[in-house]
Amino acid sequence: MAAPQSLLQLSNGYKAYGTQMLFEDATFAINEGEHVGVIGPNGAGKSTLFKILIGSEDLGDGKVIRSHALRLGYLSQHDHWGENETGNDYLERVCTIPVWEAKMAGQDMQIPEEIYEKPILSLSGGYRMRIKLVGLLGMDPNLMLLDEPTNYLDLETTLLLERFLQNYEGAFLLISHDREVLRRTTDHILEIESGAMVKYSGNIDDYFEQKELMRTQLAAKAQSQAQKTKAVMDFVARFGASATKAKQAQSKLKSLKKMEVIEFKPVPIRAAIQIPQPNHTGRTVMTLDNVSFGYPNKTVLKKVSMEIRRGDHVAVVGLNGAGKSTLLKGLAGTIEPLSGKRTLGHQVELAIFNQHVVEVLNPAHSVYESLEEVTDITITPQEIRAMAGSLLFSNDHITKKIKVLSGGEKSRVALGRILLQKVPCILLDEPTNHLDFQTVEALIQALNKYTGTVIVVSHDRGFIGRVGTKILEVTKGEVNVYPGTYDEYVWSLQQRLANNEIEEESSAIEIPKVELPKKNPRKDLSKEIRNLERKIEQCQEKISKLEKENEELNAKIVSGVKNSQEAVKKMSDNGIEIQNLEVEWSSLETSLSELKTN
């Protein structure tokens, strides 16, 4: 059998932005059929590497060598869909082979034909990704570049993606922070770290084993070298001035200069996260009695009854759109029950981590000041600094202002603020986004030691499977305790996918149906158009009013107003209403456009 041919090589690559060097002297090759996971800290240059390989950015130095046989396909993090572009329209636009062939090649994605006929912007994130993957196959590549395809992806589509990648006969480079996906789909790992690129054989588990072995060997070699150096220097110190030993001492010094220098590269921060143990509470943390949660235009969860106890580590699972985040908001009290009763236990306080807590960070504060602002009074400054360090804010970065941080850095600050409050119940909605492998591992270990109650929603299977000891399944408007482990839940979902038995849940935010006025020759068409335009204007006015109110609330929070929790809750409620209004606005615009066309 002939050896696999190289499809693409990077030779002595160098790339920098101003004074920030991403990588230098980087060299690797990708061969036919290789499934390569690309890993490295945030900001190491993974996405930049992909842009260089597809030719949208240039190297500072070095070269990319492409085989004549190379057919490159690129799946980016972001896409620009046309307002009314359907799945079929998209495939017609991007495919280089007949669309029916692309659909046949991507039949494992389990996309019903009627889904292809809908506007892509009306579909869930899961179906959007599935259509993108079919489009990628339609480019007929033999090397695919996939940039974080599992970000915010529902579990069922992640499982389908895994199967798709496992069965793919071509080569691919996959950027992902999902350790489980890398474990199941790759046979090589390309590490980008500290300006260098190294390709390892094996999956992500093999990579970590090889790294640890190499580091142990290097440490032993460095220790041996240090002992030899000390022995030589001691000899020179004792006999360097001796007439009989001087020549021998000089010879030893020369041999020392020829000795190989053992250098340690900086390793990723591996500091443990120490979550302060919470204040004592009663046995019952929270009870829900026949509660319904939802929004003004939709009830998402109906007649939920449960008891959450001290020390429970609850994993909330379910398909996208089932209402997991709605349940978390309801448990946290950021949305009120539509009916029924929610009761907190004795001395129970809650803290919730989600995207909204990032929005209320004071931009004028430093990282340390932001953490200190909400920290329990019993927490020491050293403990605050330790938390900052464990979330990758070194001594140099702890003084950086919030306003200059990236989105991922702000998210880590917000997570630290939750962990430092010493509340007995922590609710976490997708806490591992923007965290690298080492920090996720540190968070898992910290939560497992935490004696308080943890309720978590996450698409990271490795994380939720190790943190959650009690499983709540959200499905078809109901919330029930799952009778098995998380691994058993994932297995059952895989079986249902294999049998094509999964129906996508409805969206938690109902999309208002705006019916076109029936054609009536006796009615003035311009009157109908004006009616829709008036409704659109009313939506815009309401959105502007809510956005202005949120700006004022944020200013109050920044200024340190009392009862800031009420302001945060009001901002969250306004955000939900704005989302509903924007959906309604979009539907009205579509109706107006169709009416004018007709």
Cα gap 85→135, rounded to integer Å: 14
* Mean pLDDT calculated for residue range 98-104: 91
- The three-state secondary structure class of 586 is helix
Where is average pLDDT lowest: 224-238, 327-341, 556-570?
556-570
Which tens digit of pLDDT belongs to each residue from 2-20? 667 899 999 999 998 887 7
Q: Under a CB-based contact definition with an 8 Å cutoff, are residues 69 and 8 in contact?
A: no
Cα gap 535→529, rounded to integer Å: 10
Q: Under a CB-based contact definition with an 8 Å cutoff, are residues 315 and 470 in contact?
A: yes
- CA 266, 267, 273: angle at the middle one, nearest 5? 130
User: Taking every pair of C-alpha atoms in the chain, what is the biggest distance, in angstroms?
Assistant: 121
Six-digit token string for 402: 């919030």
Kindly report the pTM of this predicted structure: 0.66
Which tens digit of pLDDT belongs to each residue from 112-122? 899 999 998 88
> Which residue in 204, 202, 201, 198 sits closest to 181, CA to CA?
204
Cβ-Cβ contacts under 8 Å for 483 (sequence gap 6 or more): none
Share of the chain above pLDDT 90, in %: 31
- CA 66, 70, 72: angle at the middle one, nearest 5? 100
Six-digit token string for 270: 């591996």
- Check residue 452 and give its pLDDT: 92
Cα gap 598→263, rounded to integer Å: 73
Cβ-Cβ contacts under 8 Å for 563 (sequence gap 6 or more): none
Q: Under a CB-based contact definition with an 8 Å cutoff, are residues 579 and 510 in contact?
A: no
Cα gap 83→593, rounded to integer Å: 11
- Judged against a pLDDT cut of 90, whether residue 188 lies above it is answered with yes
Q: Which residue has the tokens 């249902």?
A: 496
- The three-state secondary structure class of 481 is strand
Please provide the average confidence, as pLDDT, over all residues in the chain. 81
* Mean pLDDT calculated for residue range 259-265: 48
Q: Under a CB-based contact definition with an 8 Å cutoff, are residues 4 and 34 in contact?
A: yes
- Check residue 273 and give its pLDDT: 86
Q: Under a CB-based contact definition with an 8 Å cutoff, are residues 155 and 319 in contact?
A: yes
Six-digit token string for 504: 């996508």
* Mean pLDDT calculated for residue range 22-46: 89
What are the counts of helices (DSSP H) followed by strands (DSSP E) for the chain? 19, 18
Which tens digit of pLDDT belongs to each residue from 447-466? 999 999 999 998 888 888 88
Cα 546 from chain centre:
29
Q: Which residue has the tokens 């200059």?
A: 404
